[in-house]
A = this chain, B = another copy of it.
Amino acid sequence: MTTDIDTVAIVGCGLIGSGWAIVYANAGLAVRLYDADPQGVVRARDMIAHELAEMAKLGLCGDPEPVVARITGCDDLSEAVGMADYVQESVRETVEAKTKVCAEIDACLPDHAILGSSSSGIPASDFTRDMKSRTRCFIVHPVNPPHLIPLVEIVPAPWSDPALIAPLRTFLERVGQTPILVEREIEGFVLNRLQGALLNEAFALFDEGYASAADIDLAVSHGLGTRWSFMGPFETIDLNAPQGIADYAARLAPLYTALAASRGMTAHWSDDAVGRATAERRAALSLDDLGRRSAWRNARLMDLAARRRRESDPDSVRG
């Protein structure tokens, strides 16, 4: 069904909605824009034209003209949604705003169409409960800006049709996104919970006077972020001990458990949890291949170090 998605409606054309319009139009789909504020569509068109021109310079899209030509502004919500195979809701992040617009979408959503909400933390069950199309509603939460950072979270509500998850994932991959699945609802989903964990610890360290905001920022931008730009936390620790993640946990679970406890948090480094994480990692990468993958990591780090050097000091090589 989602392989037949030809037309996408964007409801709410702020920064997120405009970014989504670029993603879908750049992938060859017809895009219909609607915003409750008539000036919203005008501003979105300007932003889209500007971004596409910049992207074309870097080879991120071809000629912007046919991409822009696939985008149509609509005066009514029904005019946008009524012709859509997929709707991307991107209005303000409040339960009230989302409930109201979803009721309007529900009134004109074609029977085959799927609704994805850009909600960054409010679960769909908070605003889709009363919709007749609620089995076809999901959270489809991007990272801002969606046309430059590909990750997107799919989060079903308790009443979302599980059979739609696989085709939704395929559709998002087809338009160049990298979807992940959050199996069931939780406030903040996965992305903002991970971001929030780092940010909350950063604010705690700052507030308690351990370091300046500038130095905490450097710890990420010149330290941890280098690895995280190409490896997630599980792969990072899997490659950080000779026998992989189980070996790492045996050495360092006590430290991380103590750090969690120092903030009042219950740690989740039980033998069972570590065992299941190990099983998943070993299915993805055998112990025999760990060395090869570590060499890949080192090559990536060296390449990033070389880029950093060129950017900060283009003419010099330390002798």
Chain B residues near A270 (CB-CB < 8 A): 207
Interface stretch, picked from A100-108, A126-134, A194-202, is: A194-202
Q: Which of A278-319 contact B (CB under 8 A)?
A: 280-281, 284, 298-299, 301-306, 308-310, 317-319
Once bound together, how far apart are the Cα atoms of A268 and B264, in whole Å?
A: 13
Q: Is the beta-carbon distance between B235 and A217 smaller than 8 angstroms? A: yes
Chain B residues near A269 (CB-CB < 8 A): 203
Once bound together, how far apart are the Cα atoms of A143 and B223, in whole Å?
A: 6
A184 in the interface (beta carbon within 8 A): yes
A266 to chain B, nearest CB (A): 7
Interface stretch, picked from A31-39, A109-117, A225-233, is: A225-233
Once bound together, how far apart are the Cα atoms of A191 and B237, in whole Å?
A: 15
Q: Is the beta-carbon distance between B221 and A228 smaller than 8 angstroms? A: yes
Q: Is the beta-carbon distance between A210 and B223 smaller than 8 angstroms? A: no
Q: Is the beta-carbon distance between A233 and B216 smaller than 8 angstroms? A: yes
A195 and chain B: residue at smallest CB distance: B224
A251 to chain B, nearest CB (A): 9
Q: Is the beta-carbon distance between A187 and B232 smaller than 8 angstroms? A: no
Contact of A318 with B61 at beta-carbon distance under 8 Å, contacts A180-B211, A181-B211, A221-B232 already known: yes
The residue from B28, B150, B234, B264 contacting A216, defined by CB atoms under 8 A apart? B234
A142 and chain B: residue at smallest CB distance: B223
A178 in the interface (beta carbon within 8 A): yes
Once bound together, how far apart are the Cα atoms of A281 and B276, in whole Å?
A: 42
Q: Which of A249-273 contact B (CB under 8 A)?
A: 255-256, 258-260, 262-270, 272-273
Once bound together, how far apart are the Cα atoms of A183 and B308, in whole Å?
A: 27
Q: Is the beta-carbon distance between B268 and A207 smaller than 8 angstroms? A: yes
Once bound together, how far apart are the Cα atoms of A82 and B208, in whole Å?
A: 39
Once bound together, how far apart are the Cα atoms of A229 and B217, in whole Å?
A: 11
Chain B residues near A191 (CB-CB < 8 A): 219, 223-224
Q: Is the beta-carbon distance between A201 and B192 smaller than 8 angstroms? A: no
A1 in the interface (beta carbon within 8 A): no
Contact of A203 with B58 at beta-carbon distance under 8 Å, contacts A181-B211, A190-B210, A190-B215 already known: no
A228 and chain B: residue at smallest CB distance: B225
Once bound together, how far apart are the Cα atoms of A299 and B215, in whole Å?
A: 23
Q: Which of A84-100 contact B (CB under 8 A)?
A: none
A162 in the interface (beta carbon within 8 A): no
Once bound together, how far apart are the Cα atoms of A309 and B203, in whole Å?
A: 34
Starting from the known contacts A27-B318, A187-B262, A204-B268, 14 additional A-B residue pairs (CB-CB under 8 Å) come to A55-B302, A59-B317, A60-B305, A62-B319, A153-B219, A178-B223, A180-B215, A188-B258, A191-B219, A194-B205, A194-B220, A207-B268, A217-B233, A225-B227
Q: Can you sample 19 A-B contacts with CB below 8 Å?
A: A54-B302, A61-B319, A180-B211, A182-B215, A183-B209, A187-B255, A188-B258, A190-B210, A194-B216, A197-B263, A203-B268, A206-B277, A207-B273, A214-B234, A216-B233, A220-B232, A221-B230, A221-B235, A225-B227
